[in-house]
Amino acid sequence: MDINSLLGAPKACECGKTHGCDIKSVVIEKNAVAKIPELAKGYKGVLLVADRNTYRVCGKDVEALGIHKDIFVFEEEGLVIPNEKAWGEIQSRVTDEIDLIIGIGSGVIQDLCKYVSFLCKIDYFIVATAPSMDGYASVGAAMIANDMKVTFSAHVPKAIIADTEVLKDAPMEMIVAGYGDIIGKYSCLNDWKLSALVNGEYFCQSVYDLMMSAVKAVRPLSKKLLERDGEAVGALMEALVVAGIAMSLVGNSRPASGSEHHLSHYFEITGILENAGYFPHGIDVAYSTVITERLREELLAIKELPASWEFDREKWENNIRALYHRAADGVIALQDKMGWYQKDYLSIYREKWAEICAVLSEVPASKELEELFSEVGLTMDKFYAMYGEKKVNDAVMYAKDLKDRYSVLWLYDLIKEAN
Ligand SMILES: [Zn+2]
Ligand SMILES: [Zn+2]
């Protein structure tokens, strides 16, 4: 896939929108770091940002290029938390002389550099150190503010640089997480189609196809990824970047995040609220993809739709308060604003049930997904050992309430609650 053909000025699309992406260059190859001086030409003051680990694996090579004015390496050994303190530290290094931040890292470093460069209204590049998540090319910066997980809307990098020699040596758990995040797109792409059918939500076939072809390219690579094959790791990175670009093209997260992500966010948020454990993002997404596919299969087996349905506000609100603790008010306010509990979805389901079933049946079977994930060491018993039945069931019923996005979780909730 030629990623660079997706970049640049907006082009008209059959879906009625024009799609553009502000990223100027994506370089995923052996020795990609050598391309940085050329890409950074024209900038007057470069600030490099890394943490101790990413400095060791790649930052020192970027430093050796000698193109920077300043370098900031987080002092803490171990994970940096992307909170007010961390972004304040970077921001304090952005003097009048700095017009480009080059972040070296994956999740946290790229979120921080994305956000600070946005606040300071300057450009940033990201030098990726792990193919672990799909945020590289997206506008969202996942941060912790007031101890809560929030996603700030920021901007995309001007360049994404990924050296396959660095990526392939990333911790295996991060590579597996990236694989999970990509295979999970089967679920979110299906939710997008479902929402277009049920809610008349905007849908773009060509962005859908773009994402799906990247998923299909990555799907057979599990064995090669475990062997740290450079080409396979490069293909995974490409798919992760494509996911970010796909989000930029349509202007929302639909092509890359659906019910499987909502479940993963539920595990993460309740983990933070309850001080309980949770898996790295892409690994939660992988397990959750199996779960949401089981829901689709359960729905497909239904012989008859319920005769009626009524929203039990009191029960719902009590459960939201019990599960979301101090975040409950925000969740309730969001759903009051959305008004989907008041909408007559049952009539829509009746009218379109055959088409709905046709959409639901497009995702690979849950058994097939389980097999794919077990090839990279992710088995469902590990998932249940972490969360237990109850938490998984709670996620299935209440993760959707965190979001303003329709998905199979809404369909499943109505059918379950009515029966
Ligand atoms: Zn389109
Ligand atoms: Zn993800």
Q: Which ligand is nearest to the CA of 208?
A: 1
pTM over 0.85: yes
User: Between these two residues, 194 and 78, which has the higher pLDDT value?
Assistant: 194
CATH architecture of 175-418: Up-down Bundle (1.20)
For the cut 80, the answer to whether the pLDDT of residue 147 exceeds it is: no
What pLDDT, on the 0 to 100 scale, is given for residue 219? 97
- CA of 133 from ligand 2 middle (Å) equals 6
**With bands split at pLDDT 50, 70 and 90, how would you rate the model's confidence at 5?**
confident
- CA of 252 from ligand 2 middle (Å) equals 13
What pLDDT, on the 0 to 100 scale, is given for residue 177? 97
> Do the Cβ atoms of 394 and 280 come closer than 8 Å?
no
Own/partner long-range contacts of 55-61 (Cβ < 8 Å, ≥24 apart): 55/104, 57/129, 57/166, 57/169, 58/33, 58/104, 58/127, 58/129, 58/163, 58/166, 59/104, 59/127, 61/33
> Do the Cβ atoms of 124 and 157 come closer than 8 Å?
yes
For the cut 80, the answer to whether the pLDDT of residue 419 exceeds it is: no
- Cα-based angle 137, 59, 84 (whole degrees, multiple of 5): 65
What pLDDT, on the 0 to 100 scale, is given for residue 131? 96
Average pLDDT over residues 182-199: 98
Positive or negative, the CA dihedral 228, 234, 239, 245 is positive
- CA of 17 from ligand 2 middle (Å) equals 25
Identify the CATH number of the domain defined by range 3-10+20-170: 3.40.50.1970
**With bands split at pLDDT 50, 70 and 90, how would you rate the model's confidence at 84?**
very high
Domain boundaries, the chain: 3-10+20-170, 175-418
Q: Of 130, 120, 133, which Cα lies nearest the Cα of 165?
A: 130
- CA of 297 from ligand 1 middle (Å) equals 29
- CA of 413 from ligand 1 middle (Å) equals 30
- CA of 1 from ligand 1 middle (Å) equals 18
